[in-house]
Structure 1
Amino acid sequence: MGSLATVDSATDEAKSRPRFHRAYSFGIVTGIFFIVSWVGQFVFQAIAVRNDAVEHGSEFTWSDFFPQFLSSTFENWQSEFLQLVWQAAGLMLFYFWGSSQSREGEERVESKIDALLEDRGIDPESLDRVVKDRAEGKRS
């Protein structure tokens, strides 16, 4: 009887999981955008290099094209990743250091909590003193 319950719970769990395309739709769409844009870069850069070679009276060669393609690809990725890392890390640091934007959010949350406490008949300042006293008692 116990093994039957285990099988039922396993099938229920499998039924409750979303299908692969639903669970990973953002990653799939992002991957498709990435591949399409990279293929587009490849095609248009190949056309530009071929036109440049014809204009200068030389022949298009893949051995000349691939280093240029990889160089421009990594240059794009480097600039994008650096920009993204700066945005994520910079925002995290500013939030951690307590920028004016993060302080405004904290003050807003504090005022909402105080309003809820007052609505329940609890004095926020007396609660602050109790919390502070308990914190100091734990430190000693």
Structure 2
Amino acid sequence: MSIWKAYGYAWITLILFLGAFIGHWTFGWFAYVDQQLQHGAPVEVSEYLVEMGRDTMENWQSEFLQLLWQVGGLGFFLFVGSPQSKEEDDRLEEKLDLILRTLRPEDADRFIAEFDRRFPGRNMGPKL
């Protein structure tokens, strides 16, 4: 699989991010120049960079980092198997074991042992 397909979502996110970032700084430049001209002040790139840097960090702090933590942090903890994510896995696995034992009591232990062999570490709950 190519790197473009394997990380397609990341590439799209990066393109959207860069587009928004460039647009923010471009339109910020026009607004800064307009404001400076209205006040009869000189247009200075260094002053613009400080102002836009401050504005960008304020936006990231209030929006981007919050979203990054909520989505990225949750995804990471689900991936590494936090106690919160394992609780739901344990519950679901116990329900499936119960259904299997109810529908096929004579084969349930063999099926469960086969699943445990094929997917080690996935069976986290106690047996009924």
- The TM tier, using the shorter chain, reads 0.5 to 0.7
Matches within 5 A, 1:1-140: 18-79=1-62, 80-86=64-70, 89=73, 96=83, 107=91, 109-121=93-105
Which consecutive segments of 4 or more residues in structure 1 shift more than 6 A?
Answer: 102-105
TM-aligned CA distance change 1:73 to 1:97, over 3 Å? same
Per-residue deviation, 1:31: 1.5
User: Which region of structure 1 is more displaced relative to structure 2, 104-113 or 46-55?
Assistant: 104-113
Q: Secondary structure at the match of 2:42?
A: coil
Please give the TM-score of this superposition, normalised by the length of structure 1. 0.57
Calculate percent identity across the aligned residue pairs: 22
User: Which region of structure 1 is more displaced relative to structure 2, 40-49 or 83-92?
Assistant: 83-92
Tell me which protein shows more helix as a share of its residues: 1
The answer for unaligned runs of 5 or more in structure 2 is 109-125
| Larger RCO (alpha carbons 8 Å, 6+ apart) | 2
String of CA shifts for 1:78-129, please: whole Å, max 9, x gaps.
222134325555795xx7369xxx867754553332111111116x9xxxxx
TM-aligned CA distance change 1:60 to 1:85, over 3 Å? same
Aligned to 2:121: none
TM-aligned CA distance change 1:22 to 1:105, over 3 Å? closer
CA distance in 2, matches of 1:29, 1:90: 21
Q: How many equivalent pairs are there?
A: 104
TM-aligned CA distance change 1:90 to 1:19, over 3 Å? closer
CA distance in 1, matches of 2:47, 2:6: 42
Largest Rg, 1 or 2: 1
